[in-house]
Structure formats: C-alpha cells, structure tokens
Structure 1
C-alpha cells in the first residue's frame, strides 16, 4: 500500500512538472512555428515561380514543335503557377504590412500586461522589440 502511495505521488509530480514545462516553453514554440511558416511560405512562393517558368518553357517548346497538347498544357500550367505565385506574394506582403503596423506603435497590451517598444541595434542595423513594462 505504501509503495502505491509513493507511485501516485511520483506520477503527480511528473505530470505537474510536465505541465509547467509545456506552459513555460509554449511561447518559444509559437515563435519557432511562426519562423517556420515564414520560411515555408517563401519556399512555396519560389516553387510556384519556378513551376511557372518551367510551364512557360514547355509551352514555348510545344509552339516550336507544333504540338498543341504541349503548348496548351505548358502555357496553362505556367499561367496557373504564375497566379498561385501572385497569391502567395500578396499574402506575404499583407503579413509584412501587419507586422509593420504592430511595430509602428509605441506600446501594446497583451494578456493584461503592457509592453513598450524598444530600439535595438545589431550589426549596425536598427530593430524593434517589445519589452514588458514594470
């Protein structure tokens, strides 16, 4: 019986420690996810651009060889890829605009806490960050 109580106490401590760790590291994971999403968006945008160029090349090759199927497939695929590239470009621009609007403020309030904008210089470049006010 005594071993059972010790086991329950150990499990409870481990669950509590795991919960505290998960809550403490959640903001770091969210930031990493955002950076990952930005990198993925740029990579996807580049892929659509490259597919558009490849489609256009296939379409031109079809024109030169007189193959209507290659011409239609290549130019159609190139046009679709160009459209998707443009959609990703607009979306990325919108995200950057929202970020710029956020950092144009002197302070923000999140979860009941006030954060003031702070200027940071790194390698001769000017950056902004929000620091929790006292």
Structure 2
C-alpha cells in the first residue's frame, strides 16, 4: 500500500455502513475509512487509542461521562479503555487511525463487527 489514496473518495465508494476498510499502513497502525449511519455498538479497546477524523458529515461519540460531536474536518481520540458508541444521525464518512491489534468492536461482537480480513479486502 504505497500509493496515493483519497480517503474521502474511497469512503464514499463503500456500499456497507460500519464496515471499515484499510487504505494505508503506518508503522504498527492502520489507516481505515468507513461510511457510517446509525449506531455502531458500545465497546472499548483496552490497550489501544482510536483516532476519528471526519471526512464528511457529523458523528457523535457517546461515552459514559460525555458525548462529543465531530463535524467535517474534526478529529478526536478515544483513549484506551474508554467505553464509547459512535452514532451518525445522517450518513457520515470517517477515517480512523488505530493500531493493527485493534479489534473493530473491542470484545463486543455484534452483527456489525468486522474481522481484520474483511477490513483488508480490496476496495
């Protein structure tokens, strides 16, 4: 993966919601994009931080002690161990940067959980 990519265009081309795709690798991290709508699932990543960057639209990240609302161009890092639930009231395009060891929905497994193999599929 050593090509020029447009995360926004790749995210826009996705046909499934909440199904991130790896678009680049950076040391021990993946850069992923996703098209999201509705609620993902309450979950946490015990050993990894998770960076959200909004490519288009708006995303709320619910946490037990607060909710942050991110708009296009905004970035927020959910610290490791913090339970959170991303929610998009309208379709939203996001970019994520997270360690390669980060499980999509942490230890929670739902119908929206995607394996690393799914996330590595060609776009």
Fold match (TM-score > 0.5): no
Q: Which has the higher helix share?
A: 1
Using structure 2 for the length normalisation, give the TM-score: 0.21
What TM-score results when the alignment is normalised by the length of structure 1? 0.20
- Which structure has more strand as a fraction of its residues? 2
